[in-house]
Amino acid sequence: MAELHLLSPRGFIANGIYAGIKIRQTPDVGLLIAEAPASAAAAFTTNRVFAAPVKVGREHVAKGTLRGVVINSGNANACTGKQGEKDARRMCELAAAVAKCDCKAAEILPSSTGIIGHLLPMEKVERGIIEAGQNLGASAEHALAFGDAILTTDTKRKTAAAQFKIGKQTVTLAGICKGAGMIGPRVAVGAKAKQATMLAYLTTDAQIAPTVLRKLLQDASDGSFNAVTIDDHMSTNDTAVILASGASGAKIAGPKAVKTFAAALAEVTQSLAYQIAADGEGATKVVTVTITGAKTPADARLMARAVANSPLVKCAMHGNDPNWGRIVSAAGLAGAAFDPDKATLTLQGTVVFDKGTPTVIDAAAVSSALKEKEVRVDLNCRLGKSSATVWTCDLSKEYVTINADYHT
Amino acid sequence: MAELHLLSPRGFIANGIYAGIKIRQTPDVGLLIAEAPASAAAAFTTNRVFAAPVKVGREHVAKGTLRGVVINSGNANACTGKQGEKDARRMCELAAAVAKCDCKAAEILPSSTGIIGHLLPMEKVERGIIEAGQNLGASAEHALAFGDAILTTDTKRKTAAAQFKIGKQTVTLAGICKGAGMIGPRVAVGAKAKQATMLAYLTTDAQIAPTVLRKLLQDASDGSFNAVTIDDHMSTNDTAVILASGASGAKIAGPKAVKTFAAALAEVTQSLAYQIAADGEGATKVVTVTITGAKTPADARLMARAVANSPLVKCAMHGNDPNWGRIVSAAGLAGAAFDPDKATLTLQGTVVFDKGTPTVIDAAAVSSALKEKEVRVDLNCRLGKSSATVWTCDLSKEYVTINADYHT
């Protein structure tokens, strides 16, 4: 699978270039173009404060087809009023023009990520779009360049892909994403959606109806992007988009094919979400919080998020401190049904609290187990059959360093 | 007012001693005794996971009178099962015995604060209670010793007091509290209450009925303790107790006297809450977040808490970074009605965002203003008439240091 990339699914070309928006000299403007109209769905932030590109993107994806995506990093084009909206529309116009595919601005979805509250440096952005359009291609290098153009405080590229058969045809599904801080997405397909700067772009050469794609993207997002949190700060720009070119000829229709496609989509999006947690600002480890036996699915999610978002739990994880009382108390404060006298808490496989009472543990051994790059926190509530998993990371001094001085 | 202390209201004696529970050699066991049965009310954590002393305390305060409070720091007696409950009851028994006031265990309210999930070292606790009981008194030093016995990661004592006249009688109201981490209290009077380790003890020599006292304590808590957050981690042990000895002879009955008493209670509890924010773990400044013009009081509180709890906002405040987009986006993600196109955000008195658009600011000047020990964040939503204020602090590396290594 290692060789698959965002442009492995047939029917797409892309590019990314450095236009001088970011200080760090890596690509900051990118274009992804479908060679023919692609079936499309997108999920956006549900923050009441949403960026101009989110507003424009919602409009443009509403019909269920897109010809491409234009993105910039280094500036979120959020809280920028009417001029911001004009700028987002201008990005689409230019992208449509340089894509040389006889498409309209209304078929391009724009995305931006970076600082909030500053107008886009449009001269640089425009020059960047034109330059990116001059060398579109489908190679792995083109995929890399586009992918790099969405990164901000990320320290690693985040990519995933899957291949499967529908009848005799091979379908490829690939994705890239960005996100390391301001991560607590709760994206939704449709007009009323939520936000945190997580951007994800998915391509596939399957043939699939927009209505089906929308539902599958929402389900996949709920189990992946919407289940990762770095700082629970839902952004103004969160966007997850999937474009289906249909170029494989494989039709996703009927329960079996839909199930197969959904499984691949879940695999790819969950891999991306996990990579976001692993690259959380200042993170040294991923913490996977799993709640089982909750009374309702909503209760399970509430508790998983409360544990994953507690700065006290995250600091304890950073210090390899088996201070599990913080985990149990976080579950208790979530507003969900929870009875500590029925619950069992397991840290890295060791039961530390069982039915209201601490177990006798070797604290040094548990602490040592917490030094792994992957920490599992499992809380069985024994109140019902619902479960939820949330991925997060530890809270380090480095997170403070990064965020106390992002602006200046 | 500087000379007033917890034992200035007539009718109370107290003491605190070091019993060896905490590593730091400062008092960790304390007794506060009312010389005659006192009218009493208490508000407790609303966490589903509540400590043994909270369970016992709820029972003991139910009748509306108490003879005293027994407290220990260094161990929260939470998640300790049946043995924990026995230990909390034993603390009350011993306190009643050593108080030499012919009172019963059921008239004593117990509190504990410290690490969760460890049984109390009862030998030390018992010895401590007996020793503290041998030298009860009403001096400022006795008040100090009791106050010090509730501190854990606090770096400062937190005290407040007020005096007022009811007719010709002078009434004194005083309070102490502790809290620096695991602070996000939402305490409630009555059986169904929430939690975060904030402990507050209030004394007054007013004569007041328990039913009135309960209502006034809930109202005061909502505007003070329940409006302060360090890490939004509601604890298992949060408790606010008020004892009214009646020794001043001043009767709080009738709207005017109740209003006067409520104002003094608000003043004292708000001062204590502010002191908690100022002494937040690793804090270098207090951030006062005020939401005005919200559609409903609940919306105002939701937005104020979302801004105050955002790690991104708190880090920006630490770095004196006028990165106000984080504040606006936090308000937008709160789940409250909010329209950025109607809102105005003011940072330290400077309008930085107005009706959907950034204002032109001198970023260096605003950054410089953020260096103050007190930072004001004011967001006017222009959607209604409701407002809310929440106090928090900045997020520093020191917070991570303290909490990555609290246990070991």
Q: Is A296 a catalytic residue?
A: no
Closest C-alpha among B112, B107, B74 to residue B93: B107
- Label the pairing between strands A158-166 and B158-166: unpaired
Torsion of CA A127, A8, A109, B323, to 10 degrees: -70
Question: Closest Cα of chain B to A266: distance in Å?
Answer: 26
Nearest to A407 among B115, B323, B397 (CB): B323
> Per the domain annotation, does B207 fall within a domain?
yes
Per-residue pLDDT tens digits for B279-295: 999 999 999 999 999 99
d(CA A93, CA A95) in angstroms, rounded, equals 5
Query: What is the maximal distance between C-alpha atoms in chain A?
Result: 70
Does residue B181 sit in the same domain as residue B301? Answer: no
Q: Is B192 on the interface with A (CB under 8 A)?
A: no
> Per the domain annotation, does B65 fall within a domain?
yes
Using an 8 Å Cβ cutoff, are B240 and B225 in contact?
A: yes
Provide, as residue numbers in chain A, all residues whose Cβ is less than 8 Å from the Cβ of B324: 116-117
The mean per-residue pLDDT over the stretch B134-143 comes to 96
Residues 55-114 of chain A whose Cβ lies under 8 A from any Cβ of chain B: 76, 78-83
Nearest to A79 among B321, B358, B406 (CB): B358
Are A315 and B399 an interchain contact pair (Cβ–Cβ within 8 Å)? yes
Q: Is the pLDDT score of B272 beyond 90? A: yes
Using an 8 Å Cβ cutoff, are B44 and B188 in contact?
A: yes
Using an 8 Å Cβ cutoff, are A183 and A233 in contact?
A: yes
| Domain final residue, candidates B243, B278, B313 | B278
As given in the structure block, the two tokens for residue A279 are 């690259």
pLDDT at A95: 97
Residue tagged active-site, from B153, B197, B239, B290 = B197
pLDDT at A406: 54
Per-residue pLDDT tens digits for B100-124: 888 999 999 999 999 999 999 999 9
pLDDT at B304: 97
Provide, as residue numbers in chain A, all residues whose Cβ is less than 8 Å from the Cβ of B280: none
The mean per-residue pLDDT over the stretch B210-228 comes to 95
Count of structural domains, chain B = 2
Provide, as residue numbers in chain A, all residues whose Cβ is less than 8 Å from the Cβ of B232: 310-311
d(CA A309, CA B186) in angstroms, rounded, equals 18
Does residue B273 sit in the same domain as residue B291? Answer: no
Does residue A230 sit in the same domain as residue A333? Answer: no
d(CA A17, CA A27) in angstroms, rounded, equals 4
Does residue A143 sit in the same domain as residue A177? Answer: yes
Provide, as residue numbers in chain A, all residues whose Cβ is less than 8 Å from the Cβ of B336: 48
Nearest to B312 among A182, A319, A395 (CB): A182
Closest C-alpha among B175, B152, B163 to residue B69: B175
Q: Is the pLDDT score of B194 beyond 50? A: no
- With a CB cutoff of 8 Å and minimum separation 6, the contacts of B141 are none
How far from A213 is each of A36, A42, A228, CA to CA, in Å?
A: 17, 9, 22
d(CA B190, CA B64) in angstroms, rounded, equals 11
Does residue B274 sit in the same domain as residue B299? Answer: no
Using an 8 Å Cβ cutoff, are A374 and A288 in contact?
A: yes
> Per the domain annotation, does B1 fall within a domain?
no
Provide, as residue numbers in chain B, all residues whose Cβ is less than 8 Å from the Cβ of A402: 315
Per-residue pLDDT tens digits for A148-178: 999 988 899 999 999 999 999 999 999 999 9
Scanning every residue of chain A, which has its alpha carbon at the shortest distance from the alpha carbon of B195? A333
As given in the structure block, the two tokens for residue B169 are 């009688």
Per-residue pLDDT tens digits for B9-65: 999 999 999 999 998 899 999 999 999 999 999 999 999 999 999 999 999 999 999
The CATH code of the domain that includes A219 is: 3.60.70.12
d(CA B369, CA B320) in angstroms, rounded, equals 8
Q: How many CB pairs under 8 A join A and B?
A: 248
Residues 309-338 of chain B whose Cβ lies under 8 A from any Cβ of chain A: 310-312, 315-316, 318-319, 321-326, 328-333, 336-338
Using an 8 Å Cβ cutoff, are B229 and B190 in contact?
A: no
pLDDT at B192: 39
Does residue A132 sit in the same domain as residue A56? Answer: yes
From first CA to last CA, the distance across chain B in angstroms is 41
| Domain final residue, candidates B278, B298, B319 | B278
> Per the domain annotation, does B123 fall within a domain?
yes
Residues 247-286 of chain A whose Cβ lies under 8 A from any Cβ of chain B: none
Are B79 and A325 an interchain contact pair (Cβ–Cβ within 8 Å)? yes
- With a CB cutoff of 8 Å and minimum separation 6, the contacts of B308 are B229, B287, B289, B314, B390, B391, B392
- With a CB cutoff of 8 Å and minimum separation 6, the contacts of B361 are B322, B350, B352
As given in the structure block, the two tokens for residue A246 are 């249909």
Stated length of chain B: 408
Does residue A40 sit in the same domain as residue A183? Answer: yes
> Per the domain annotation, does A393 fall within a domain?
yes
pLDDT at A101: 81
d(CA B253, CA B171) in angstroms, rounded, equals 13
Provide, as residue numbers in chain A, all residues whose Cβ is less than 8 Å from the Cβ of B117: 324-325, 328, 352-353, 358
The mean per-residue pLDDT over the stretch B77-88 comes to 96
- With a CB cutoff of 8 Å and minimum separation 6, the contacts of A46 are A186, A187, A188, A192, A193, A194, A195, A234, B333
Does residue A299 sit in the same domain as residue A255? Answer: no
Closest C-alpha among A395, A392, A183 to residue B282: A395
Q: At what angle do helices B311-318 and B325-332 cross, to 10 degrees?
A: 160
Scanning every residue of chain A, which has its alpha carbon at the shortest distance from the alpha carbon of B312? A403
**Distance of alpha carbon B205 from the chain centroid:** 21
pLDDT at B100: 80
Phi, psi of A331 (to 5 degrees): -60, -40
> Per the domain annotation, does A5 fall within a domain?
no
In DSSP terms, A188 is beta-bridged to: A44
The CATH code of the domain that includes A394 is: 3.10.20.340
Are B358 and A324 an interchain contact pair (Cβ–Cβ within 8 Å)? no
Q: Is B392 on the interface with A (CB under 8 A)?
A: no
In DSSP terms, A366 is beta-bridged to: none
Q: How many CB atoms lie within 10 A of CB A126?
A: 18
pLDDT at A407: 53
Determine what percent of chain B is predicted with pLDDT higher than 70.
Answer: 97
Residue B266 lies in domain = 12-278
- Residue whose tokens read 């009646």: B246
Are B333 and A233 an interchain contact pair (Cβ–Cβ within 8 Å)? yes
Does residue B220 sit in the same domain as residue B291? Answer: no
Closest C-alpha among B72, B78, B76 to residue B51: B78
Which of A49, A230, A350, A375 to mutate against chain B (most B CBs within 10 Å)? A49
Provide, as residue numbers in chain B, all residues whose Cβ is less than 8 Å from the Cβ of A404: 315-316, 318-319, 321, 396
| Domain final residue, candidates B257, B278, B299 | B278
The mean per-residue pLDDT over the stretch B347-354 comes to 97
Scanning every residue of chain B, which has its alpha carbon at the shortest distance from the alpha carbon of A360? B118
The mean per-residue pLDDT over the stretch B152-158 comes to 90
Does residue A391 sit in the same domain as residue A319? Answer: yes
B408 pLDDT band (50/70/90 cuts)? Answer: very low
Q: Is B44 on the interface with A (CB under 8 A)?
A: no
d(CA A265, CA A136) in angstroms, rounded, equals 26
- Can you list the residues of chain A whose pLDDT is less than 50? 1, 191-196, 408
> Per the domain annotation, does A295 fall within a domain?
yes
Residues 165-184 of chain A whose Cβ lies under 8 A from any Cβ of chain B: 181-182, 184
From first CA to last CA, the distance across chain A in angstroms is 41
Arithmetic mean of pLDDT over chain B: 94
pLDDT at B406: 53
Does residue B394 sit in the same domain as residue B350? Answer: yes
d(CA A242, CA A214) in angstroms, rounded, equals 9
Q: Is A44 on the interface with B (CB under 8 A)?
A: no
Are B181 and A236 an interchain contact pair (Cβ–Cβ within 8 Å)? no
Per-residue pLDDT tens digits for B236-260: 999 999 999 999 999 999 999 999 9
pLDDT at B153: 85
Are B48 and A340 an interchain contact pair (Cβ–Cβ within 8 Å)? yes
pLDDT at B180: 86
Residue tagged active-site, from A197, A204, A288, A290 = A197
> Per the domain annotation, does B3 fall within a domain?
no
Element (H, E) at A92: helix A81-98
Are A49 and B328 an interchain contact pair (Cβ–Cβ within 8 Å)? yes
Q: What is the ipTM of this complex?
A: 0.91
The mean per-residue pLDDT over the stretch B81-109 comes to 95
Does residue B95 sit in the same domain as residue B192? Answer: yes
Residues 229-248 of chain A whose Cβ lies under 8 A from any Cβ of chain B: 231-236
Q: Is B360 on the interface with A (CB under 8 A)?
A: no
